[in-house]
Amino acid sequence: MSNGDNEGALAGTNGEVPADDKSALFDQLKEIRKNLVETEFVQDFDIPGYNGMLVVRCRPYEISKSERKAMVLRERSSRGESVLLDAACDTIIDATEQVMVRKPNGEIVPIDDELPVKWDERLSQLLGLNVPPPPQGTARMVVKTLFPTEQSITALSMEITTWLRDATKGLDQAVLGE
């Protein structure tokens, strides 16, 4: 349906939306909003290079987490330092709920049943990564050591960003019946 067709369905003879159509429209918007509030947006992404066995579970995060890091990256960039890879790492780190494993049967399970494993010393130890413990070792160092290439870090960061931007796409289709 084109915009013109859609406008015709809602417009009265004077170009205004009739009150009863507005009511139906607002009812639909309220239902969409209710579904948005009630929906838990979570997505699993395979970590490149591990044959689908290592998975990062992501969810939307508070932008304020990234603002502080972005300020530091801007300062570094103004000094001529390269910051693209660190920014990509930060997106992965901030969106990560936990790093998980995929069993041979396809089931995705937590690495640790008690505490989520993130980009920390535990993950480094479990996978035998050569990352020093904090404070010298950082989440960025764990990401950079775990991933096979810098490009794979950037690619996953872009996938996560695309998903975060479009996380409601499936919900939109379910609510609108498309």
pLDDT tens by residue, 29-68: 878 777 766 667 899 999 999 999 999 999 998 887 777 7
**Quick check: is 121 in a domain?**
yes
Residue 7 has pLDDT above 50, yes or no: no
**Quick check: is 53 in a domain?**
yes
**Quick check: is 33 in a domain?**
no
Q: For all residues of the chain together, what is the average pLDDT?
A: 83
Going by pLDDT thresholds of 50, 70 and 90, the confidence category of residue 86 is very high
**Quick check: is 76 in a domain?**
yes
Residue 178 has pLDDT above 60, yes or no: no
Going by pLDDT thresholds of 50, 70 and 90, the confidence category of residue 18 is low
pLDDT, one tens digit per residue, over 105-149 is: 999 999 998 999 999 999 999 999 999 988 899 999 999 999 999
| Domain count of the fold of the chain | 1
**Quick check: is 94 in a domain?**
yes
Give the structural domain span for 72.
43-169
**Quick check: is 123 in a domain?**
yes
**Quick check: is 174 in a domain?**
no
Task: Please indicate, yes or no, whether the overall pTM of this predicted structure exceeds 0.85.
Answer: no
**Quick check: is 34 in a domain?**
no
C-alpha distance from residue 121 to each of 112, 127, 138 (Å): 13, 10, 8
